[in-house]
Structures are given as structure tokens and as C-alpha cells.
Amino acid sequence: GESVGLHLPTLSVQEGDNSIINCAYSNSASDYFIWYKQESGKGPQFIIDIRSNMDKRQGQRVTVLLNKTVKHLSLQIAATQPGDSAVYFCAERPSYNQGGKLIFGQGTELSVKP
Amino acid sequence: DTAVSQTPKYLVTQMGNDKSIKCEQNLGHDTMYWYKQDSKKFLKIMFSYNNKELIINETVPNRFSPKSPDKAHLNLHINSLELGDSAVYFCASSLTTRGTIYFGEGSWLTVV
């Protein structure tokens, strides 16, 4: 079925280090990509998004990179903090846009060691 | 102020019962959604509504019936609950079908 895959289900980093979470997507028709952070017991929280006409977008401590050639998306978190510990999801939206539908990956659990 | 709010947060019920989850958004968005997250944390869309009109029904059993009385509300009614319905249900909304989707805090449904 449709899916957006992640290379690593878990990632453990030291506080202060940079984190990179990777995502492979399968639908070349997708033109919008988004990262969410989900803390335990909470809903997915928007982090950053990017459209297919861009390769890179930066936010506060986060950067999303999009490589359309190999259908790869990554989220970089600078100076990772304990509060960044959560499950991170990438998602894609096909350009044919079925009513705003997002297709989610399985999630990567980020653990930050103090 | 909660942007997308859903109630109840926790719901434990017996098989065969009928239950509802309510959702409201105060963002002025036109599009609302229900997503289901399973025990492996996989998130999948169930329904999408735009201006109170059903746009997506992602092959969800007809025991699940969404209702949108107005653009700010999208409720989910589930008939004849089954064990496999146990999951976290997230309501979400976006300005349009092309906008950023914002999620509620989830409703944890346990069917026993």
C-alpha cells in the first residue's frame, strides 16, 4: 500500500549534538512534505514543511532537506535538547491532492541523552 | 487556547457498544479530518471534510460515521465497537485541502 518509509525506527543522540532523521517517500507525484513531532500522550505537532519546488527550508534549530531525485527527505535538528525527545513523522501529500490527505511514515523515536 | 480540541480524551467501552468522539476547531479552517493511529504508531487518514462535505472516505467500515454540523465541528460516531477499533483517534484541520494540517491531542479508545 501507500507508505512513506523511514530508515531508522530509533535514534539516540547526546544532548547538544545534531540529529538527522531520514525518510524515503515513494510517490513521485507528491509536491508537499511535512515533519511532525509527537510526544507521549499528545497529538502530532507541526515542525516544518517544504514544497517540491524547494530543496531546503530552515526553521528555528530545524532544517528540512528534500532530494527529489532519490525521493528522500531529512530533518536536521541542531543542538538537540532533552525536550526534543519524541517520535518524529514525515508525511507527504500527493499533488493530485485527495482532499488534503497526508501519507505518513512509520515514525522515528528520538532519544536525547543528557 | 486549544486550536483543535476533541473529547473525550480517554474512552473505555465494551464490544458492541456505540460511542462518539467530538471535535471542534477554532482556527477558522475549512477542512477537517479524522486520522487513526494504531498500536505501532502508524497514522492513517480515515475521513476528510471540506466545507462540511465529505471528500475522503478511506475505505473505513460503515460502522464509522462522521458528521460535520458546521465547518468548525467534525464528530465521529462508531457503531458496534470491535476489539480492533482500539486505537488513538486524532481530529485535525487545515485552512484548505492544501494547507498545513494541525492535529488535536487525540482520543484514546479501548474496546474490551
Task: Give the residue with greater pLDDT, B103 vs A3.
Answer: B103
Residue A7 has pLDDT above 80, yes or no: no
Cross-chain residue pair A32–B104, CB shorter than 8 Å: no
Residues of A in contact with B44 (CB under 8 A): 104
* Average pLDDT value over all residues in chain B: 95
Q: What are phi and psi of B45, to 5 degrees?
A: -70, 145
Residue A44 has pLDDT above 80, yes or no: yes
Residue A66 has pLDDT above 70, yes or no: yes
- Tens digit of pLDDT for each residue in B5-20? 999 999 999 999 999 9
Contact residues, chain B to chain A, C-beta under 8 Å: 4, 31, 33, 40-45, 48, 50, 55-56, 58, 90, 94, 96-106
- Tens digit of pLDDT for each residue in B23-61? 999 999 999 999 999 988 999 999 999 999 999 898 789
With cut-offs at 50, 70 and 90, classify the pLDDT of residue A36: very high
Cross-chain residue pair A106–B102, CB shorter than 8 Å: no
Count other C-beta atoms under 10 Å from residue B86's C-beta.
17
Question: What pLDDT is stored for residue A6 in this prediction?
Answer: 46
Question: What pLDDT is stored for residue B59 in this prediction?
Answer: 79
CA distance B106 to A36: 15
Cross-chain residue pair A99–B58, CB shorter than 8 Å: no
Residues of B in contact with A93 (CB under 8 A): 98
Question: What pLDDT is stored for residue B44 in this prediction?
Answer: 95
Strand partners, A10: A109
CB contact at 8 A, A71 and A24: yes
Question: What pLDDT is stored for residue B40 in this prediction?
Answer: 87
Cell numbers found for residue A51: 514544497
| A-B Cβ pairs (cutoff 8 Å, strict) | 63
Cell numbers found for residue B57: 472516505
The sign one gets for the Cα dihedral A75, A80, A83, A87 is positive
CB contact at 8 A, A50 and A66: yes
Residue by residue, DSSP assigns B37-93 as E-TT--EEEEEEEETTEEEEE-S--TTEEEEEEETTEEEEEE-S--GGG-EEEEEEE
Q: Show the CA angle centred on residue A78, arms to residues A77 and A81, nearest 5°.
A: 85
A84-102 burial: b if 16+ Cβ within 10 Å, else e: bbbbbbbbbbbeebebbbb
Question: What pLDDT is stored for residue B63 in this prediction?
Answer: 96
Residue by residue, DSSP assigns A13-26 as EETTS-EEEEEEE-
CA distance A106 to A109: 10
* Average pLDDT value over all residues in chain A: 91
Sole residue written with cell 517517500: A25
Question: What pLDDT is stored for residue B1 in this prediction?
Answer: 60
With cut-offs at 50, 70 and 90, classify the pLDDT of residue A1: very low
Residue A5 has pLDDT above 70, yes or no: no
